[in-house]
Amino acid sequence: MVMPYYGYGRQDRKDEGRVPITAKLVANLITAARADRVLAMDLHAAQIQGFFDIPVDHLSATPVFFDYFMSIREQLGDLCLVSPDVGNVKVAESMANLLDADLAIINKRRLTGDTIRVGNLIGDVRNKNVLMFDDMISTGGTVVEAAKLVMDQGANDVICAATHAVLAGPAMQKLADSPISQVVVTDTIPEAGRCDQIQDKLKILSVGEMLGQAITRIHNDESISALFQRTAGAKR
């Protein structure tokens, strides 16, 4: 089963009473449907691989992002990679090393499903172009509030990059009204006319070639990890 985007991936633990672990339920359903192997991209938490009783190949879209941002590296100037939450720091740090950029971290607190409170910025973004890197944009609360914070701290420009463009609820309006100049996403979730409101900011990268290479390697019993030798790897 090839799943570029694993639905319910955020529901991976009980954070309060009477809450289901739906990511495990979906894994059980896939196993019950007699899939014998799963190919997924940028799971919200790498531990979700352990929810399956069948082999899981966890791909990362960072090679696609790396190729794109390296192609425009000169335009990005003095660059700082910013992780909008602590969960994605390792990927942001690896990308910062690959792109020869600085690193900063924002701590956040989720108040409700679509309400975020950003806290302190660890690092210096003054007079720098900021690239924020995350696994998904859901309601847009995290990246928009983080973008406002780095602009208040003296950043020149903000680019947001995420693998999965969920863009639920008020996300379009938030991104359209935000100081983010470009939103770079992949096609793990089809755009299909959903993003007209942010079309002038949107850049969609294709992960089709990477999925094709992975499928070929699986069928030929070749290494999947070889696809990620030069990149930041998957989220940990």
Q: Closest by alpha carbon to 188, among 153, 221, 162, 163?
A: 163
Q: Closest by alpha carbon to 179, among 202, 204, 157, 161?
A: 157
Residue pair 88/107 in contact by the 8 Å Cβ criterion: no
Instruction: Tally helices (H) and strands (E) across the chain.
Output: 7, 10
Structure tokens belonging to residue 166: 């969920």
Using CA atoms, how far residue 220 sits from 58, 63, 181, in Å, is 17, 22, 42
Q: Give, for 28, the enclosing helix (H) or strand (E).
A: helix 22-32
Distance of CA 146 to the CA centre of its chain: 15
The verdict on whether 108 is a catalytic residue reads yes
DSSP result, 166-199 = ---TTHHHHHHHSS--EEEEETTS--TTTTGGGT
- Among the options 14, 24, 90, 108, which is catalytic? 108
Q: Give, for 112, the enclosing helix (H) or strand (E).
A: strand 102-112
Angle at 170 between CA 166 and CA 175, to 5 degrees: 80
Residues noted as catalytic: 108
